[in-house]
């Protein structure tokens, strides 16, 4: 018989977390998932304790777990008891999972297990030529599993929110002084950066990834355009500027806003040479201390489709125990469509809908990139109408950020970053940013600006100063 489908460690941890805090979840899985089906032995004891408490009170144990757990593991060796309590502490501090996603994985597991058991009996019935019984067996087996996937919220009885962080708790801040008060980013949010051709969108993605690592988050960065080596090098440049060790140095031009005069200034400064392999290694070691993890995956253009992303996310979860907090896809417009006969705009609409599904299922922050229309290149400001190919992209994302430069701004290493559209929060707010890409900094400084007002004060002043 084929080996039973296994639940990933992350899903098993999620099952235990929900069993501790969520009565509706326990009610649903109590009669479907036996504790001995979990491959993690320690998880078996905790789930068994959760079931014992639920059978007695019809509620999830919550803060009472340790009381019932003490009774369940009386005969267990002290060394294992210590491991069990350590496991409970670790799971209690994990990120709250998406309940629907956990149940869907659990449902697939239960169904597979039921199919395997039924397959043996089916073969025996066929050998005995008991065809009606065999047909009935398979008919009933196909209907098995956890039928209710979307639990909903039993508002007056479900108090699991007491164990969850606030819904509006931010996941990521960009570390841009004049932008952070205007916009922070959350789990299950799909964000799109809109920009012109060669408009530094990929560099802004690197900035997102760097700031996530600085905040101890796990990052998956998929590239369909830039090579793996180029993406690695950009992270090295972005992160290497943070290092203070005395590596080989080179002079670079630093653009910044003078806080007293508000004018754009420039200066020459010696910075670590991040092209040196020793500096690159030390920059990565420095970033590792924050606790996050970065996985970079390269797909050649027009080779990766929706199914491949599904497979890869499942692979990372099952074999690497890695569920990203930030999922960067640069950029989906050049992915392979599932149906080449569909119109391009319909292909893109389907693709963006699946991106929203991925971030919802795994409670990630998603970041994608979109090309603006030709007339928006070097525009002062991007608007909703500048989304290329299909305006429905806009309805499928939660936040759209505009990143653009006029010709004058580009010469002065300036750009504007602002909120084009938002499902929640303010729109048409933003700031100016200073770019120093020689040292990998797409937003090394920022300044206030009023949208719709020409951002030429700093530019003209800088020209006079130079």
Please give the helix or strand (H or E) that residue 90 lies within, else none.
helix 78-92
Strand boundaries in 324-387, DSSP class E: 326-330, 365-371
Tokens encoding 313: 């996310």
pLDDT at 221 over 50: yes
Position 78 scores a pLDDT of 92
Q: Quick one: pLDDT band at residue 83, thresholds 50, 70, 90?
A: very high
Q: How far apart are CA 152 and CA 167, in angstroms?
A: 16
C-beta neighbour count of 317 within 10 angstroms: 18
- Tell me the residue ranges of DSSP E strands in 125-259: 190-195, 218-223, 249-257
Would you tell me the crossing angle of helices 228-240 and 201-214 to the nearest 10 degrees?
A: 60
Instruction: Check whether 250 has a pLDDT greater than 80.
Output: no
> Closest Cα to residue 330, out of 443, 212, 230?
230
Q: How far apart are CA 359 and CA 188, in angstroms?
A: 5
Instruction: Please report, rounded to a whole number, the percentage of residues in the chain having pLDDT higher than 70.
Output: 79
CA distance 360 to 350: 15
Residue 3 lies in a domain: no
CA 125 to chain centre: 48
pLDDT digits (tens, 9 = 90+) for 25-42: 998 888 888 888 788 889
111-145 pLDDT, tens per residue? 777 677 677 787 888 888 888 777 776 666 555 55
432 inside domain = yes
Q: 101 and 46: one domain?
A: yes
Q: Which residue has the tokens 């209710």?
A: 148
450 and 330 within one domain: yes
Rounded to an integer, the average pLDDT of 232-252 is 70
Q: How many domains does the chain have?
A: 2
What number is the average pLDDT over the span 332-350? 87
Same domain? For 232 and 371 the reply is: yes
Distances (CA, A) of 154 to 22, 151, 159, 307: 11, 9, 9, 34
Helix, strand, or coil here: 291? Answer: coil
Give me the CATH number covering residue 325. Answer: 3.40.50.300
Asked if 153 and 33 sit in the same domain, the reply is yes
Question: How would you classify residue 436: left for phi > 0, otherwise alpha for psi between -120 and 50, otherwise beta?
Answer: beta
User: Residue 8 gets which letter from DSSP?
Assistant: P
Domain boundary among 163, 198, 214: 163
In a domain, 1, yes or no: no
> Is 201 in the same domain as 343?
yes
Say if residue 202 is in the same domain as residue 76.
no
Lowest-confidence range among 94-103, 219-228, 306-315?
Answer: 94-103
Of 161-165, 315-319, 384-388, the least confident: 384-388
Q: Is 211 helix (H, G, I), strand (E, B) or coil?
A: helix
Identify the pLDDT of residue 375: 60
pLDDT band at 440 (very low <50, low <70, confident <90, very high): confident
DSSP string, 381-394: ---GGGBSS-THHH
The C-alpha atoms of residue 265 and residue 458 are separated, in whole angstroms, by: 9
pLDDT one-digit tens code per residue, 185-205: 999 999 999 887 776 899 999
Count CA atoms closer than 13 A to 40's CA, side-chain side: 21
Beta bridge partners of 54: none
Q: Are residues 399 and 316 in the same domain?
A: yes
307 and 158 inside one domain: no
pLDDT at 313: 93
37 in a structural domain: yes
| pLDDT confidence of residue 367 | 97
Q: Domain limits at 247?
A: 190-465
pLDDT mean over 321-325: 91
Q: What is the pLDDT of residues 370-414, one digit of tens each?
A: 887 556 555 566 655 556 555 677 778 999 998 988 888 888 888
* Position 183 in a domain: no
CA distance 49 to 66: 9
Average pLDDT taken over every residue of the chain: 81
pLDDT in tens, 99-108: 888 888 888 8
In a shared domain, residues 107 and 148: yes
Residue 153 and residue 180: Cα distance in Å, rounded?
Answer: 33
202 and 105 together in one domain: no
Place of tokens 């799109």: 192
Q: What is the pLDDT of residue 47?
A: 95
Neighbour tally for 463: CB within 10 Å: 13
Q: Count the Cβ atoms, other than its own, within 10 Å of residue 90.
A: 11
C-alpha 150/C-alpha 349 separation (Å) is: 25
Closest residue by Cα to residue 255 from 409, 448, 380 = 409
Is 229 part of a structural domain of the chain? yes
């Amino acid at each position: 018989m084929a080996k039973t489908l296994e639940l990933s460690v992350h899903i098993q941890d999620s099952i235990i977390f929900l069993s501790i805090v969520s009565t509706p979840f326990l009610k649903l899985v109590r009669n479907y998932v036996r504790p001995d089906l979990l491959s993690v032995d320690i998880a078996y004891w905790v789930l068994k304790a959760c079931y014992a408490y639920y059978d007695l009170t019809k509620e999830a144990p919550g803060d009472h777990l340790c009381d019932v757990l003490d009774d369940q593991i009386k005969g267990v060796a002290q060394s294992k008891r210590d491991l069990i309590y350590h496991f409970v502490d670790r799971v209690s501090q994990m990120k709250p999972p998406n309940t629907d996603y956990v149940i869907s994985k659990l449902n697939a597991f239960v169904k597979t297990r039921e199919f395997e058991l039924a397959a043996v009996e089916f073969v025996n019935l066929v050998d005995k030529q008991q065809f009606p019984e065999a047909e009935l067996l398979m008919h009933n087996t196909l209907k098995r599993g956890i039928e209710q996937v979307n639990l909903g919220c039993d508002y007056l009885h479900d108090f699991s929110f007491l164990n969850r962080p606030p819904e509006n708790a931010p996941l990521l801040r960009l570390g841009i002084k004049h932008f952070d008060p205007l916009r922070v980013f959350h789990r299950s949010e799909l964000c799109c950066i809109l920009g012109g051709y060669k408009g530094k969108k990929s560099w802004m993605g690197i900035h997102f990834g760097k700031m996530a690592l600085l905040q101890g988050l796990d990052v998956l960065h998929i590239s369909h355009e830039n090579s793996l080596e180029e993406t690695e090098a950009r992270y090295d440049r972005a992160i290497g500027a943070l290092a203070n060790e005395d590596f080989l140095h080179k002079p670079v031009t630093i653009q910044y806003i003078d806080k007293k005069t508000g004018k754009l200034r420039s200066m020459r400064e010696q910075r670590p040479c991040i092209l040196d392999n020793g500096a690159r290694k030390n920059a990565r070691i420095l970033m590792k201390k924050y606790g996050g993890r970065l996985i970079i995956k390269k797909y050649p253009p027009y080779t990766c489709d929706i199914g491949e992303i599904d497979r890869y996310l499942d692979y990372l979860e099952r074999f690497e125990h890695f569920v990203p907090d930030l999922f960067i896809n640069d950029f989906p417009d050049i992915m392979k469509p599932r149906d080449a006969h569909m119109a391009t705009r319909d292909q893109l609409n389907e693709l963006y809908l699946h991106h929203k599904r991925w971030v919802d299922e795994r409670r990630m922050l998603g970041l994608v990139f979109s090309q603006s229309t030709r007339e928006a290149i070097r525009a002062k400001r991007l608007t909703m109408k500048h989304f290329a190919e299909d305006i429905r992209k806009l309805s499928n994302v939660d936040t759209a950020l505009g990143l653009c430069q006029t010709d004058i701004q580009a010469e002065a290493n300036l750009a504007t970053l602002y909120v084009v559209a938002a499902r929640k929060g303010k729109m048409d707010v933003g700031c100016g940013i200073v770019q120093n890409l020689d040292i990998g900094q797409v937003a090394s400084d920022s300044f206030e600006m009023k949208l719709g007002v020409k951002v030429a004060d700093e530019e003209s002043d800088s020209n006079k100063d130079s």
